[in-house]
Structure 1
Amino acid sequence: MKINHSQFVFAREFRGISQTELSKQVKGLSQSNLSKFEKGFDVLSDSIIESLIDYLGFPKSFFEKVINNDIEIAHYRKRSGITKGLKTQIETNNRLLGYVVDQLSQSIDFPEFSLKPLDPEDYLPEEVARYTRKLMGLNKKEPVFNIFNLLESNGIIVIESDDVIEKFDGVSLMSDRGTPIIIINKNFSNDRKRFTLAHELGHILMHITGDFPIPKHRDEKRKEIEANRFASEFLMPEEGIKNSLIGLSLYDLAPLKKYWHTSKQSIIRRAKDLKAISDKKAKYFMIELSRMGERKVEKTLVDIDSPIAFRNAYELHKNELNYSDKELGEAFSLPLEIISKYFNFSDNSKLRMII
């Protein structure tokens, strides 16, 4: 068996196990030798490699793969408070989801990515958002509805994950086979999901899929600001919302939220950014939301649709191609537990065929 040492790193980090912990679990293995092996500088005996494979719980064929799904271009909206080990485990999970999407795409056709990336060195984030809305056929003054379906129909695979920590909002990445993917926290409120989806769409169009270089001065903080500006204009276009924000009162927030399907806090920030209210008034609104207990969970709810492309791809493998979960695991070189984890759909969303 021709093994790829980097896959052992992948499996270990996915399991959330340190080199020290793993070396203690495998007889005859030192941390020094494991470290050298993972860097490709040392050779372990066949028996120790067999023990590593058995302990990590992945099929042998997994360790022959090469999975990249470059996490350097993935974007997290909340890094504070996330330990390095936990962040690595989350990123490895997301890379594995990208790999699963690629495996599914070998048998079925996902919608083709049809949007046009634009360089923020040449276009403002708001201009990118307006152009994207035009490509999607959206009215330039109206809210965005069915945002999951909108993204998926334009070739972006969206996955909701409920096996993540609260501090994780969402991430966007490009799979090894060139599919743009957004992974978001399933447990968040619908308005927060919508902003996260728009934010990650901004990353995809301005920072990931384009073939233009990104200068050093546009660091991670700058890219986050650009993605937020894109999301605000995409969900709440200036031409449609600005007049209703002039003279904004606290009691206007609930009906505006219901109409635009965005959080009260994002409406307040939008009003401030568009100079419809002063910084002082925006601060007052935020204080009032805190007083009413709405800074973390807002009372007014909004609707949202559900992502279906990832689920449909799985259903097609099960129902049309007649794969069992066990056979999918064997075909994808993954343990059954991971197949069960990623394809655990608890809702009753209507399925549709992908053409």
Structure 2
Amino acid sequence: MDSSTRIFIDNLAEAVIDAYGITIPIDNIEDVVKKIGGEIVEKADLDDLYDGTIRKVDQSSFSIVISPFQSEGRKAFTVAHELGHLFLHMGFGVDPDLWSRQNDTIYRRFGTSEQEYQANEFAAALLMPQKEYLSELLRNKTDDGKVCISEIADYFHVSNAAAGNRGKFLGYLI
């Protein structure tokens, strides 16, 4: 993914945070989904190949189905990933024409396509906005320059891997 796409996605996530009055860190992703107009359904019999899906319900709502067999941090990232599809690829609140064409389209968190990378980037930007991430990174930096990534992950309610990857993609970590 090129830097201009990454910047666009970060800016879109910030716009979503501002438009819906989302408080960072997000303590309850389900509250965010409800505020935006959707619902989350846990379904134990999802195909083993993916953790979540999203689909349009009607002109103003959507449904995210997730596997209950994920840690809380992974569930939050899966839901945020599906919200990435909602705004980036389905056009919800961004592109009315694209949104109106989303009749039977279902997006799944699966694979390594460009859309999947973009949805992951959106999830990271939504859960760990750049400004707040840098603030937490500096707060958790030791005198010898080391960072406790687990503290950052705990603050944002994400996995250590998600927190570490966000820091690397923002250029703050090696």
TM-score tier, shorter chain, comes to: 0.7 to 0.9
Aligned to 1:193: 75
Aligned to 2:125: 233
Q: How does 1:98-137 map to 2 (within 5 A)?
A: 124-137=8-21
Q: Does 1:267 align with 2:149?
A: no
Structure 1 residues 163 and 248: alpha-carbon distance in aligned structure 2, compared to 1, 3 A threshold: farther
Distance in structure 2 (CA, Å) of the matches to 1:202 and 1:132: 10
Q: What is the DSSP-based 3-state SS (H/G/I as helix, E as strand, rest coil) of the residue aligned with 1:132?
A: helix
Choose the corresponding residue for 2:37, options 152, 155, 171.
155
Unaligned runs of 5+ in 1: 1-119, 214-219, 279-355
Alpha-carbon offset, residue 257 of structure 1: 2.0
Deviations 1:90-132 (A, max 9, x none): xxxxxxxxxxxxxxxxxxxxxxxxxxxxxx98x8111110000
AA partner of residue 171 (structure 1): T
Distance in structure 2 (CA, Å) of the matches to 1:197 and 1:137: 18
Choose the corresponding residue for 2:113, options 198, 214, 221.
221
Alpha-carbon offset, residue 243 of structure 1: 4.2
Deviations 1:13-35 (A, max 9, x none): xxxxxxxxxxxxxxxxxxxxxxx
Q: What is the DSSP-based 3-state SS (H/G/I as helix, E as strand, rest coil) of the residue aligned with 1:275?
A: coil
Alpha-carbon offset, residue 165 of structure 1: 4.1
Work out whether residues 248 and 277 of structure 1, in 8 Å CA contact, stay in contact via their aligned partners in 2: no
Choose the corresponding residue for 1:146, options 28, 37, 41.
28
Work out whether residues 38 and 62 of structure 2, in 8 Å CA contact, stay in contact via their aligned partners in 1: yes
Structure 1 residues 160 and 224: alpha-carbon distance in aligned structure 2, compared to 1, 3 A threshold: same
AA partner of residue 25 (structure 2): P
Q: Does 1:245 align with 2:137?
A: yes
TM-score, normalised to structure 1's length?
A: 0.38
- Greater relative contact order: 1 or 2 (C-alpha under 8 angstroms, separation 6 or more)? 2
Aligned positions, number: 147
Unaligned runs of 5+ in 2: 100-111, 139-144
Q: What is the DSSP-based 3-state SS (H/G/I as helix, E as strand, rest coil) of the residue aligned with 2:81?
A: helix
Q: What is the DSSP-based 3-state SS (H/G/I as helix, E as strand, rest coil) of the residue aligned with 1:271?
A: helix
Instruction: Find the structure with the greater CA-based Rg.
Output: 1
Aligned to 1:65: none
Work out whether residues 245 and 277 of structure 1, in 8 Å CA contact, stay in contact via their aligned partners in 2: no
TM-score, normalised to structure 2's length?
A: 0.75
Q: Does 1:164 align with 2:51?
A: no
Deviations 1:17-70 (A, max 9, x none): xxxxxxxxxxxxxxxxxxxxxxxxxxxxxxxxxxxxxxxxxxxxxxxxxxxxxx
Work out whether residues 30 and 39 of structure 2, in 8 Å CA contact, stay in contact via their aligned partners in 1: no
Aligned to 1:276: 172
AA partner of residue 163 (structure 2): I
Alpha-carbon offset, residue 212 of structure 1: 4.3
Aligned to 1:203: 85
Moved over 6 A (4+): none
Distance in structure 2 (CA, Å) of the matches to 1:244 and 1:256: 6
Work out whether residues 203 and 227 of structure 1, in 8 Å CA contact, stay in contact via their aligned partners in 2: yes
Distance in structure 2 (CA, Å) of the matches to 1:248 and 1:165: 40
Q: How does 1:71-110 map to 2 (within 5 A)?
A: none
AA partner of residue 260 (structure 1): F
